[in-house]
């Protein structure tokens, strides 16, 4: 495309070598970056990352410790075991460096004892899980072999980690927080099942000692020395550069554009250092374990266009007379046949259906999945009627309506804080849905029953609930099918997948900003990496639908904001 080789290589490396499109997008966004042609290489590091039950426990510890004691230095980077020190690698050698990792992993497959024996250690300033010395020496030998391969293939010097190998749980925390953190750490079962991935990460060395911030709100510069802010972008800020900033402002550099300038401090929040790191290669299944029968995929989809949004909160009075009969022609144009409700038509006020257009949207999604040769093995949905109807029409488009039943799971309902009034909706029971010719599994027993849902739950409760029910659904389907579809709410695309990837939950403000941008039938896909229990977001098998005031939905931009 006419780009100089140095710029092309920098773009590929800065995007983890994902694809040409990602590299081109990076180049176009950095066209004014004053350091675009800087030959300075990136810094690299090799970590072991946990997966499976241990990762879930560590993620829970991360979340609880942050809520109880605030952020400490351990929160800057995800749970890991450091295998080598940071080292430099020229852009043109990165592919060879990744090959060196793959070669080393292939050589060591099956030679590392399982599970890694980890022992809790605490002091007044540090809490961690240390690898038993004999096994740690085996891991150090693996790291030494990687260093040899890296020198031979990529001409780089890698120094294996010489100190005790460990997973850091907390450090640089207030002394008064030690009892709380120690109690939380003791709840982590270090013997939990776990596979480990050897993962190669890189970072921009220029910003290694900077504070990482994330943009919360967009900002258009008012003066030449100010920086344009795009929601979700990251900003690097160094304390030594703040002399030019007045009170309420900071000076920083954008990850997205490479440009620097002043920005309003209340438009950004602190982020974790590793949020801006780039992944360059996985060493699959470093310690071998019993594989599951197949790699699993999870699809999460928002419901179709809802009636109350199109016609307003008074739509029930427009469509029904006082006796509950259909009142207007609008009914025949915009509403499908509805199941009878034991509580009468007013129950639709809090549990509205989708419109005819919403059903068409859902049917199109099903047809697109069919054309992509995708088969859905299990369908779970929120108890909201709009979600059940959407799932039904997706199955019809897939031509799986007869053989695949919808499992109605109350645990997939949206954040109850968003429900108006003092009580939750009265949902239609599965038996009544089935009687109305909806393909609902009347024998399914929910993981979280209706009785466990409460009005105005906290954000943390909602996030924990969504993560819990997603894990239990996947465990229930393990080895019985490859692909699970969840049809729920806009918030579900974030809440059901983020912690599954080993990421900490976003704060509630960030979460709301993401959810607001997800359109009807917004769709994302998550896949188990190898047979490890670690999940990552992947390209869905279908193109996104765009409808309503939302911008074009891009799962990569919205759901991968760490």
Least confident piece of the model among 56-60, 246-250, 491-495? 56-60
Q: Domain with 269 in it: what CATH number?
A: 2.30.30.40
Q: Single out the catalytic residue among 49, 166, 489, 498.
A: 489
pLDDT of residue 333: 45
What is the structure's pLDDT at 357? 87
Domain that holds residue 487: 297-307+352-538
For residue 326, tell me if it sits in a domain: no
Tokens standing for 354? 């989708």
How far apart (Å, rounded) are the C-alpha atoms in residues 206 and 31? 19
pLDDT of residue 332: 45
- Residue-wise pLDDT for 266-316, tens only, equals 999 999 899 899 988 766 545 433 333 457 899 999 999 988 877 766 666
| Total tally of structural domains belonging to the chain | 3
CATH number of the domain at 417, please.
3.40.50.1240
- Say what the pLDDT of residue 316 is: 65
Residue 138 pLDDT > 90, yes or no?
Answer: yes
Is residue 145 over pLDDT 90? yes
Query: Among 191-195, 276-280, 398-402, 504-508, which is the least confidently predicted range?
Result: 191-195
Does any domain span residue 18? no
pTM greater than 0.75 (yes/no): no
pLDDT score of 539 more than 60: yes
Q: 286 with 88: CB under 8 angstroms?
A: no
Q: What is the pLDDT of residue 465?
A: 95
Q: What is the pLDDT of residue 63?
A: 84
Residue 444 and residue 420 in one domain? yes
Query: Which CATH number do you get for residue 190?
Result: 3.90.1140.10
pLDDT tens figures, 31-65: 999 999 998 999 999 999 987 778 878 888 988 99
Q: Give the range among 151-155, 420-424, 438-442 with minimum mean pLDDT.
A: 420-424
The pLDDT of residue 551 is: 55
Q: Are residues 60 and 167 in the same domain?
A: yes
Q: Is residue 559 part of a domain?
A: no
Claim to verify: residue 107 and residue 74 sit in the same structural domain: yes
Both 395 and 481 in one domain: the answer is yes
Q: How far apart are CA 519 and CA 547, in angstroms?
A: 6
Higher-pLDDT residue of 531 and 13 is 13
Whether 211 has a pLDDT exceeding 90, the answer reads: yes
Q: Residue 341 — very low, low, confident or very high, per pLDDT cuts 50/70/90?
A: confident
Please give the average per-residue pLDDT across 419-447, as a whole number: 89
Looking at 166, 181, 206, the residue that finishes a domain is 206
Question: Residue 499: is its pLDDT beyond 80?
Answer: yes
The band of 343, judged by pLDDT with boundaries at 50, 70 and 90, is: low
Residue range 385-389: average pLDDT?
95
Instruction: Please tell me whether residues 228 and 185 are part of one structural domain.
Output: no
Mean pLDDT for the stretch of residues 343-362: 80
In terms of pLDDT, which residue wins out, 373 or 157?
157
Kindly state whether residues 126 and 234 are assigned to the same domain. Answer: no
Percent of the chain with pLDDT over 70: 87
Q: Which residues contact 186 (CB under 8 A, 6 or more apart)?
A: 120
Percent of the chain with pLDDT over 90: 57
Question: Residue 469: is its pLDDT beyond 50?
Answer: yes
421 located within any domain? yes
Same domain, 152 and 256: no
Please say which residue of 163, 186, 206 terminates a domain. 206
303 belongs to the catalytic site: yes
Residue pair 101/200 in contact (Cβ under 8 Å)? The answer is: yes
Is residue 61 a part of any domain in this protein?
yes
Residue 325 is assigned to a structural domain of this protein? no
Are residues 369 and 478 part of one domain? yes
Residues 179 and 239 in one domain: no
Given the residues 303, 306, 363, 407, the one annotated as active site: 303
pLDDT reported for residue 298 = 96
* Residue 30 within a domain: no
Average pLDDT over residues 469-489: 91
Residue 551 appears among annotated catalytic residues: no
* 206, 225, 260 - which closes a domain: 206
The full DSSP string for 191-251 is TS---EEEEEEEE-GGGTTSEEEEE-S-B--SSTTB--B-TT-EEEE-GGGGGG--TTEEE
Q: Are residues 144 and 243 in the same domain?
A: no
Q: Do 91 and 231 share a domain, yes or no? A: no
- What per-residue confidence (pLDDT) applies to 345? 61
Q: What is the arrangement of strands in the sheet containing 234-237, beginning at the earlier edge strand?
A: 260-264, 249-254, 234-237, 211-215, 268-270
Based on the fold, state whether residues 237 and 166 are members of the same structural domain.
no
pLDDT in tens, 77-104: 989 999 999 999 999 999 999 999 989 9
Q: Is 549 a member of any domain?
A: no
Set 80, 302, 341, 393: catalytic member = 302
302 is catalytic: yes
Q: What is the pLDDT of residue 119?
A: 95
Angle subtended by helix axes 356-371 and 385-398, to nearest 10: 40
């Amino acid at each position: 495309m006419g780009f100089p080789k140095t710029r092309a290589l920098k773009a590929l490396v800065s995007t983890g070598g994902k694809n040409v499109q990602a590299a081109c997008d990076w180049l176009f966004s950095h066209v004014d970056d004053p350091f675009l042609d800087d030959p300075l290489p990136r810094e690299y590091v090799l970590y072991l990352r946990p997966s499976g039950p241990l990762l879930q426990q560590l993620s829970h510890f991360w979340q609880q410790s942050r809520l109880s004691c605030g952020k400490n230095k351990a929160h800057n980077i995800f749970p890991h075991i450091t295998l080598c020190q940071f080292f430099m690698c020229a852009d043109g050698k990165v592919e060879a460096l990744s090959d060196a990792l793959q070669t080393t992993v292939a050589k060591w497959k099956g030679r590392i004892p399982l599970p890694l024996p980890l022992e809790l250690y605490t002091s007044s300033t540090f809490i961690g899980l240390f690898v038993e010395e004999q096994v740690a020496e085996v891991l150090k030998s693996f790291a030494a072999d990687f260093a040899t391969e890296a020198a031979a293939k990529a001409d780089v010097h890698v120094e294996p980690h010489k100190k005790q190998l460990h997973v850091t749980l907390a450090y640089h925390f207030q002394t008064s927080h030690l009892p709380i953190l120690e109690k939380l750490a003791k709840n982590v079962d270090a013997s939990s099942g776990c596979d480990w991935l050897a993962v190669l990460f890189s970072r921009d060395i220029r910003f290694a000692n900077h504070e990482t911030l994330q943009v919360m709100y967009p900002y258009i510069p008012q003066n030449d020395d100010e920086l344009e802010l795009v929601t979700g972008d990251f900003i690097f800020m160094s304390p030594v550069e703040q002399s030019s900033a007045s009170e309420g402002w900071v000076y920083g550099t954008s990850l997205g554009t490479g440009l620097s300038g002043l920005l309003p401090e209340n438009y950004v929040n602190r982020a974790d250092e590793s949020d801006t790191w780039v992944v360059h290669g996985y060493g699959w299944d470093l310690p071998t374990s019993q594989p599951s029968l197949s790699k699993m995929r999870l699809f999460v989809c928002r419901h179709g266009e809802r009636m109350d949004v199109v016609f307003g909160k008074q739509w029930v009075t427009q469509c029904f007379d006082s006796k509950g009969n259909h009142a207007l022609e609008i009914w025949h144009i915009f509403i499908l046949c509805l199941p009878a409700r034991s509580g009468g038509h007013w129950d639709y006020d809090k549990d509205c259906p989708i419109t005819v257009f919403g059903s068409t949207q859902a049917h199109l999604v099903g047809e697109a999945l069919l054309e992509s040769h995708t088969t859905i093995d299990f369908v779970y949905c929120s108890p909201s009627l709009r979600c059940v109807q959407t799932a039904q029409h997706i199955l019809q488009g897939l031509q799986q309506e007869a053989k695949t039943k919808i499992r109605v799971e109350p645990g997939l309902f949206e954040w109850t804080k968003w429900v108006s009034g003092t009580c939750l909706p009265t949902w239609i029971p599965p038996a009544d849905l089935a009687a109305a010719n909806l393909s609902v599994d009347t024998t399914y027993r929910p993981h979280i029953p209706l009785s466990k849902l409460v009005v105005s739950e906290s954000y943390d409760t909602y996030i924990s609930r969504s993560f819990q029910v997603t894990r239990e659904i996947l465990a229930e389907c393990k080895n019985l099918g490859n692909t699970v579809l969840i049809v729920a709410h806009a918030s579900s695309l974030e809440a059901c997948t983020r912690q599954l990837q080993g990421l900490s939950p976003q704060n509630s403000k960030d979460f709301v900003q993401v959810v607001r941008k997800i359109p009807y039938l917004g769709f994302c896909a998550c896949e188990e990496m190898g047979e490890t229990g670690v999940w990552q977001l992947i390209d869905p098998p279908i193109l996104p639908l765009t409808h309503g005031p939302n911008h074009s939905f891009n799962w990569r931009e919205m759901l991968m904001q760490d």
